[in-house]
Amino acid sequence: MKTALLIFAIALTTASAAHMQTARAPSADVPPLSYVCPMAGDEDVIEDKAGRCRKCGMELKPIRLDSVWTCPLHAAVIKDKPGTCPLDGRDLVQVTMAVSWTCPNTDLDVVSPGTCADGSPMVKKFTPRAHGNHNPQHGGLFFMAPDNWHHLEGTYRDGGVFRMYLYDDFTKPLARDQVRLMTGRIITKSGATIPLVPVQNGRFLEAKIGKLPFPAEMAAKLKFKTTSPEHHFDFTFPSTRRNRSHRSRQRR
């Protein structure tokens, strides 16, 4: 009798497992596993094996990372090769995203593909990652600030106007109230100092520095809050229209 009950219990367990999500061995097109620090601000810690974060000591988290192509202003568009954005026609930019798999109408989020409870294959999912997108959003020169959270982009526009756009660690525009906390100034090569002021919509800072000969060289001094240290960013613009492929220099 006990033997019969044991066999029955094993059969029930096997039948239940058949209805649960199951994982398959990753195929060749699945990115390799990496291990990252879960602490915000330590996203630069990426290892090839499990262990503890060398910065905060927390246990590393398994993740799969992949380079994909997306629209500069529409991150929901994901492509596997270069091209143009179907929404606004701009060139796609290459970013790093986390890859995982899920089942419809569930909270499932796993790092390996598998089968859902109804027998259908799991759905591939892309998730933006902090510091995964360091592409200019407005054709300017892009920086990550020394605090590893703020990001900024400077453009030098026709008419001699310097414009600074501010972003978070996901390269999303900062809220107006955060932009208004910032103070800064532009210093030209000749030594002229022009204040950076929020524009009317509060989405960016602007300084009217006038027309400069190219390459136009200038520095930005910026405080993210009144009590924050002042950061220094160097900009060199070869022209008002060809900023995207050029890099700038940063020093603390």
Q: How confident is the model at residue 145 (pLDDT cuts 50, 70, 90)?
A: very high
Q: Is the pLDDT of residue 151 over 90?
A: yes
Instruction: Check residue 243 and give its pLDDT.
Output: 44
The pairing of beta strand 231-237 with beta strand 216-223: antiparallel
Percent of the chain with pLDDT over 70: 84
List Cβ<8 Å contacts ≥24 apart for 123-128.
Answer: 124/99, 124/100, 125/99, 125/100, 125/101, 126/66, 126/68, 126/78, 126/97, 126/98, 126/99, 127/97, 127/98, 127/99, 127/100, 128/75, 128/95, 128/97, 128/98, 128/170
pLDDT digits (tens, 9 = 90+) for 167-212: 999 999 999 999 999 999 999 999 999 999 999 788 899 999 999 9
Residue 226 CA to residue 246 CA, distance in Å, equals 31
Residue 138 CA to residue 27 CA, distance in Å, equals 38
Residue 153 CA to residue 233 CA, distance in Å, equals 10
**What is this structure's pTM?**
0.77
Domain covering 141-251 assigned CATH 3.30.2010 in the classification: no
pLDDT digits (tens, 9 = 90+) for 93-114: 999 999 999 999 999 999 999 9
Residue ranges of the domains in the chain?
Answer: 24-128, 141-251
Residue 198 CA to residue 196 CA, distance in Å, equals 7
